[in-house]
Amino acid sequence: MSDQNPLPPLEWDSQGVQIQGFSAGLYQIEWLLVTVVILYLVIMGLPDEGGLGVLAATFAYFGFSLLASRLRFFGERQRWLLAIHTWAMIGFITWFLYNTDGVTGPLASLYLLAVVTSALTLGVVVTMLEVAAIAACQLLLLHLLGNDLLTIANLAPVGTSIFALLIVGYLTASLVHAIHVSNRTLLQMASRDPLTGLYNRRAFDELIKPIHQMSKRSQRPYSVIAMDMDGLKRINDTEGHSAGDQAIRDLAQRLMECKRSSDVLARYGGDEFVMLLPETDAVGSKRMMQRLINAVKDDKLSISVGLAAYPEHGNAFEELLDQADSAMYFSKASGGNRVSVKAVS
């Protein structure tokens, strides 16, 4: 089976969340930029020289943003597409400043829109590169407008502006990173078992839904496995609960080593584990579980296993889990350390 399975993301994908969640906001920022520019032109009037070029560039930039929003360029969450937007924003702002008041005018702060956009989505490194590009653009504007680059009167406003952009970009990117670290931690706490690091019951219940639906559409089998450790109470009573916890961790580690990359494994509670085996019928899953039992014997562990398969033993996942659980208790009642399959009624 392919490693690419239809599981929903229970791990925090900061890059995907940033780009997917900010695509609509990006267009709003671009349209805000166009609105500010148009208002400025309405109030101040078109420049005497190059006025039509400024107007044409403004509508061309708006058309670019509008076309991108309609074509859904961010469907695959590609960072380079979003970077193109921020670089286009820098280019448009530079062209506008060149034809109006230059870097000393009130609209030189429009570069903040590009810096904040980059900081929110592209990270610190790309943002710092864009600030460096903005600094180069401002120095180029000074030169093209006939200003002496070596005078303090000309360099001071540029230096102050770049310093402000650096501070805003760095702090914004750092804040976004801190938020994603917190979200990643919270998500792990909500979806992982703290003792073993495996998925917990809530995560497992979410993960199996798309697999079940896909199996129903394609009429392909899958198996549900219920496992329970034999003798955990004896270990807790004779060696202490810390030894029992270690035995659970050892079993979890062995299960992780034995499962396939496409299988979903979780600690369902106490010493009970559950596993879902995609594209595996009852015969194949019983063979696999028997190998697992033989493997855990090397660690002096014993488990009782029960299994049920779709569609052989039922059409609903909850039904299959109940069947597997019943088969597991049958294994335990029969002495443990064995695999039982729910008989077809």
Options 271, 281, 298, 299, the catalytic residue: 271
- Count how many Cα atoms sit within 13 Å of the Cα of residue 77 in the half-sphere of its side chain: 10
* Residue 174 CA: distances (Å) to CA of 10, 93, 169: 24, 25, 8
Q: Give residues with Cβ within 8 angstroms of 312, minimum separation 6.
A: 221, 281, 282, 344
Cβ proximity of 275 and 222 under 8 Å: no
Instruction: Mark whether 271 is an active-site residue.
Output: yes
Torsions phi, psi of 133, nearest 5?
-65, -40
Residues involved in catalysis: 271
